[in-house]
Structure 1
Amino acid sequence: MKDQMEVEVAKCECCGLKEDCTPAYIARVRERFHGRWVCGLCAEAVKDELCRSERSISMEDAVTAHRQFCSQFNANPAVNVAEAMRQLLRRRFESSRVLRPTQSSSSLPVAEDVGRPASLGRTTSCLS
């Protein structure tokens, strides 16, 4: 039981974020990312790097590419995370625009039950 309660500080090898994690969790993340521990946000960015790469790259190459991206923003961790999220969202938005054909306004779906109230409307307040 003591092993389950044991925690270690793990530092993301991309952005430098530190988290308290169990040794088992740290081992699973390192196994997935070729011996490197990466935080959840960077793990998503690495997955995005794999998907958007024009050529087939390995997980290790994707981690290295994201690590290099993170190294550009070492000054302030809060700015790093915000900028990384902005870049990630921009890339996702741009890639979804390329993959999806644009719809004309005439082909947009029309709401049929416009006058009907929402099915999960609030009926009472928890405040007195």
Structure 2
Amino acid sequence: MANDNILKREAKSLSVIECATTAAAAATEVETVSAVKCCCCGLVEECTEAYITRVKERYVGRWICGLCGEAVKDERLRSRNKSEDESIMMTMDEAIRSHMKFCQQFRSSISPPNNPTEEFIIAVKNILFRTLDSPRKDSFNGCRPLGRSQSCFSTIQATTTKTTTTTSQDQTLLSE
């Protein structure tokens, strides 16, 4: 009987030790971060391997950034709304291919700038000049400002008046 209790305690302590070592191993295991490129837009992100795996499972083995993922979901929903049978929806692969085609057409339609820094400076300069050239609103858009029948700060003005009066009397006494 005593041996049974000792064995039970040792078994419990061993299972606690095993759980603790497993938890410690999991805690010390560092999540590796990898750079991954979106197959649609080309955006490069740094993500953990577990996250990359989940995204690839969701998008038929392809890595897709969050923005493109939303566009793919929207593409699928629009395809369902366009079809006469509301239950028919575009497959994930078809939606991804459609979005990839759209991104490719967009990238090929614009040419990359020769000097992006210079073009950025010119754009900021144009915005600044437009802001400076715009007419100032000195008037109140042709409307009269809202008039008040009495001040919101009447109690403060009364206190200030009393203080001013006291100060004037003190100055009169000092000058005599």
Report the equivalent of 2:102. 69
Shift of 1:72: 1.2
Note the C-alpha offset of 1:58. 0.4
Q: Residues 54-82 of structure 1, C-alpha deviation per residue, up to 9 Å, x if partnerless?
A: 24210111011001100012255xxxxxx
Name the structure 2 match of 1:23. Answer: 49
Whole-Å Cα distance in 1 between the matches of residues 30 and 42 of structure 2? 26
Gaps of 5+ in 2: 1-27, 84-88, 113-176
Aligned equivalent of 2:74, options 32, 43, 48: 48
1:9-47 CA distances to partner (integer Å, 9 max, x unpaired)? 010000000000000000000000000000000000000
Runs of 5+ unmatched residues, structure 1: 77-128
User: Following the alignment from structure 1 to structure 2, what is the Cα–Cα distance between the partners of residues 65 and 71?
Assistant: 10
Higher Cα Rg, which structure: 2
* Ranges of 4+ aligned residues in structure 1 off by more than 2 Å: 73-76
Correspondence for 1:58 among 75, 91, 110: 91
Give the TM-score, by structure 1 length.
0.55
TM-score by length of 2: 0.41
